[in-house]
Amino acid sequence: MSSTRLDRLLRRLSPGAITRSYLAKFAVVVILVVLAIGAVGAVTYAETTDRLEANAQQDYTAVAELSATEIDVWTSDHRSIARETADSDAFGFTREPEEVESYLTSQLSWQPDEIVAFHYVNRQEGTLIASTDHERGTAITETNWLSDGLLIGEDTYTSPTYEVDDERHVSYVAYTPRRNYFVMEVSLASIVGDLRQPTDGSFTTIVQSDGVIGASDREGTVAEPYADEVRDAMISGSAVGHVSSATFEFADDAEYFVAYAPVPSEDWYVAVHVPLAEAYALSGMIGRNLLLIVGVAVVGLGLLGATLGRGTVAELNRLTRKARALESGDLDVGFDTERRDEFGDLYGAFSTMRDSLGEQIESAETQKRRAEDAKAESEAFAERLESRAAAFGATMDDCADGDLTARLDVEPDDPDALADIADGFNDAMDELEGAIAEVDAFAGQVAARSEAVTDGADEVAAAGRETSDAVDEISAGAERQSRRLSEVAGEMEDMSATVEEVAASADQVATTSREANAVTEEGREATAAAVAELHDVEERSESATETIERLEAEMAEVDAIVETISEIADQTNLLALNASIEAARAGEAGSGFAVVAEEVKALAEETQSSAAEVETLIDGLRERTDESVAEMSRIREGVDAGVDTVETADDALSEVATRVAEADDGVQEISGAMDAQASSVNEVTGAVDDLAGVSQQTTAEATTVASTAEEQAATLGDVSEQAHALTERARDLRRMTEGFEVDGERDVGDGKTDLGVFDDSDRDADSDRDADTDFDFGMTDSGQSVSADGGTDEAREPGLVDGSLNANAEE
């Protein structure tokens, strides 16, 4: 149970709990302020108390020191009187006791009242010679402190205090000229009566060197010894000091503050005793007043925190509950209050915020409903446009693949702009299909009538005029299409973002495709360089092999020569042996011959040895040559294999390059198409204007083509001069047009429709040279033209079908 309470208390005192509660923070601040005030008050109290106590100690010590000074002056005066009186000639050797006593009586008469008697004592015998009071003098001679060796030099001795008739007396002893003692007895009543009492209940004592009280202004304290701690404190040193607290049996065991000071001229101390309560009465009073001030401040802050803080926190809690209700969506929560202070303003602000939130929420819900409806309509329209665009794209893809019979279907719910696009596209395809059919027919006619050049030229002219008419119709369709394109802009705005993204992706893919094609070309070039290098290595290896083989053959010759030398050496050695035998037979007559034979034999042996060494070297060289030949053979085989591998890689790269080029063409077509679509959608009006301009350009080019066809018809007379070339070209044209099927699957490249007739640029060329006639059959949005041989040429302008009729005859 206690553990649970402790946990709850710790949670309440945790930093998180404090930061979440204004009351906790206010309480913490109040506590901190109270602690700060308490700490400052405690420090101030301690410092003030210490300072006041130190001041009191200094004051009481000053009183003790002042009293010691006064006693010092008093004792010094009496010591001087004793010294001066003792030095008188009245104590000479010729003086009688009566004369001395008379002198003492006369001297005592004018002395202060505290001097009670003069005595003249025989130092050695200790007897009284003369006195102003024989009874007191006799008593003095009987004390234990008066002895023969009492004085040293001319000093004056001060006796211990003693009591006479309830008074404390002290005697001063000095030498007389006859070296006897002069004793002056003095009462301490006057000096004790003048001792200072700084407070009520305080008393002052004169302490002798043995720690016994010699005199005091308080009854019952004289001749009482001090405790060891107080006596040691006073007697152990000669400085002024104090004892903070001490109790005395002779003072009813009460606590006293004791300040003491030494008397310089005597071996005495003055001790001032102040009751502890009186000694620090001022510091206690000021400390109590200071604690009272701190207590009042703490209580005041506590009451302030309990009233102001609690009321503020309660009001904030109520406002927090209302604000949380407002946060949860309760707009009916009330913020009415009768307060006119800052809390009233805060309630008013929350009320205004509640009303504003209600209006904003209602407005936001209305806008949300409208936005949802608009979004639904936009999504439906976008889906419809996307579906129709996909259908249009599929049909255009079929046309691009060669199916010129494919047409765009128009549905009743299609927007007018889409319907206009479909109609324009279908009209263009009808005209293109008719143009292709006419070209095919024209090609057949040219092939069939190649022998009748003039008639064929007329037919070609007629076909050119028909083509011109068709181009005129295409131009008119392009004009209609340009007018209708302006109506498409509004409907295509919603497709802008999607088409732009697709166009960007297509451009990126096209760029990547071009980079791949370039990398492939670099690979092919690197492969070709590698093949050339390998062939070079192969040639070098073959040359090295031939050199080694020649070296091997030469080594074989050298080996044969060495064998011959060896045989000659053997024969020479044999001859030398025979010569030696013959010399031995001849005796002394053949001694010279024997010497020569020995030399020849030695030379033959050396030759044989050298030949053997040469043969050994040749054998080693032959082995290394054989190894080199084998190694070169392996190198040649490796080079041949490398050449085959590299050539295979080159073939593969060539194939890859071909495929990449084909892919690049396709990607370029897609990129071109998407660029055209993105341009038409993203730029909206600008794109439509561009397309209209393209249509106008198409019309102009169609007119130009028509003029060109007429010019060609006018110049057909020149065609007869190149009948053979025309026949070959007609056959080529026939073969090219056979690839088109007007009413079935037709392969027309990527759908470009530039319809051309013969270009007579080569009519002056040699009739035996081969003619390569290309017919461009229009353009598509991809920006390329389709030639009659299935290839593609770069188009002049991207866009719709421009209907231009160009004929290019390339040699």
Asked if residue 779 lies in contact with residue 801, where contact means CB atoms within 8 angstroms, the answer is yes
Domain end position, chosen among 681, 713, 745: 681
Same domain, 534 and 676: yes
Q: What span, in angstroms and rounded, lies between the C-alpha atoms of 657 and 664? A: 10
- In a domain? residue 717: yes
Q: Which of 66-80, 129-143, 420-434, 495-509 has the lowest mean pLDDT?
A: 495-509
Residue 411 lies in a domain: yes
Among 98-112, 134-148, 312-326, 791-805, the minimum mean pLDDT is found in 791-805
The answer to whether residue 477 sits within a structural domain is yes
With residue 366 as reference, give the H or E element that holds it: helix 342-400
539 and 628 co-located in one domain: yes
Q: Count the residues in the chain.
A: 811
Residues 667 and 590 in one domain: yes
Domain-ending residue, one of 681, 708, 734:
681
Query: Does residue 402 sit in the same domain as residue 443?
Result: yes
Output the CA torsion sign for 645, 648, 654, 658. negative
State the chain's mean pLDDT as an integer.
71
pTM of the full predicted structure?
0.37
Which has the higher per-residue pLDDT, 284 or 578? 578
Cα distance between residue 442 and residue 455, in whole Å: 12
Q: Are residues 487 and 531 in the same domain?
A: no
Residue 105: band (very low, low, confident or very high) from pLDDT cuts 50, 70, 90: very high
Task: Answer whether residue 126 shows pLDDT above 80.
Answer: yes
What 3 state SS string does 167-224 have? EEEEEEEEECCCCCEEEEEEECHHHHHCCCCCCCCCEEEEECCCCEEEEECCCCCCCC
**Residue-level pLDDT at 792:** 41
Return the top range by mean pLDDT from 119-123, 273-277, 355-359, 552-556: 119-123
How far apart are the C-alpha atoms of 239 and 233, rounded to whole Å? 10
Residues 665 and 692 in one domain: no
Q: For residue 679, what pLDDT is reported? A: 67
CATH assignment at residue 545: 1.10.287.950
Q: Using CA atoms, how far apart are residues 62 and 272, in angstroms rounded to an integer?
A: 10
Last residue of some domain: 656, 681, 706? 681
Q: Residue 367 and residue 654: Cα distance in Å, rounded?
A: 62
DSSP string of 281-295, one letter each residue: HHHHHHHHHHHHHHH
Query: Domain for residue 280, yes or no?
Result: no
Strands 255-263 and 268-275: antiparallel
280 DSSP 8-state letter: T
| 767 within a domain of the structure (yes/no) | yes
Looking at the structure, tell me whether residues 702 and 639 fall in a common domain.
no
Q: Say whether pLDDT at 455 is over 50.
A: yes
Average pLDDT for 706-711: 62
User: How big is the CA angle at 639 (ends 636 and 642), to the nearest 5 degrees?
Assistant: 155
Structural domain span for residue 790: 390-497+684-810
Question: Within this chain, do residues 410 and 459 fall inside the same structural domain, yes or no?
Answer: yes
d(CA 502, CA 675): 9
Residue of 412, 491, 427, 472 lying closest to 688 (CA atoms): 491
Q: Are residue 746 and residue 791 in the same domain, yes or no?
A: yes
pLDDT in tens, 165-188: 888 999 999 999 888 999 999 999
Contacts of residue 168, Cβ cutoff 8 Å, sequence gap at least 6: 161, 162, 187, 188, 189, 192, 214, 215, 222
Residue 77 has pLDDT above 90, yes or no: yes
Question: Is residue 244 domain-resident?
Answer: no
Whether the predicted pLDDT of 798 surpasses 70 = no
Together in a domain, 551 and 640: yes
Contact 758, 809 (CB under 8 A): yes
Residue 339 reports pLDDT greater than 70: no
pLDDT digits (tens, 9 = 90+) for 586-629: 666 556 666 666 777 677 677 767 767 777 777 776 776 677 66
> Residues 437, 488: one domain?
yes
Counting residues of the chain whose pLDDT is more than 90, the rounded percentage is 10
Q: 771: pLDDT confidence band, cut at 50, 70 and 90?
A: very low
What token pair was written down for 694? 């393209």
Judged against a pLDDT cut of 60, whether residue 333 lies above it is answered with: yes
Tokens standing for residue 199: 């407070």
Which sign, positive or negative, has the C-alpha torsion 356, 358, 362, 367? Answer: positive
What tokens appear for 801 in the block?
């079908």
Residue that wins the pLDDT comparison between 396 and 479: 396
Structural domain includes residue 328: no
Residue 234 lies in a domain: no
Same domain for 666 and 745, yes or no, is no
DSSP labels for 671-718? HHHHHHHHHHHHSTHHHHHHHHHHHHHHHHHHHHHHHHHHHHHHTGGG
8 Å CB contact between 563 and 552: no
pLDDT at 688 over 50: yes
Structural domain count of the chain? 2
Percentage of the chain surpassing pLDDT 70? Answer: 55
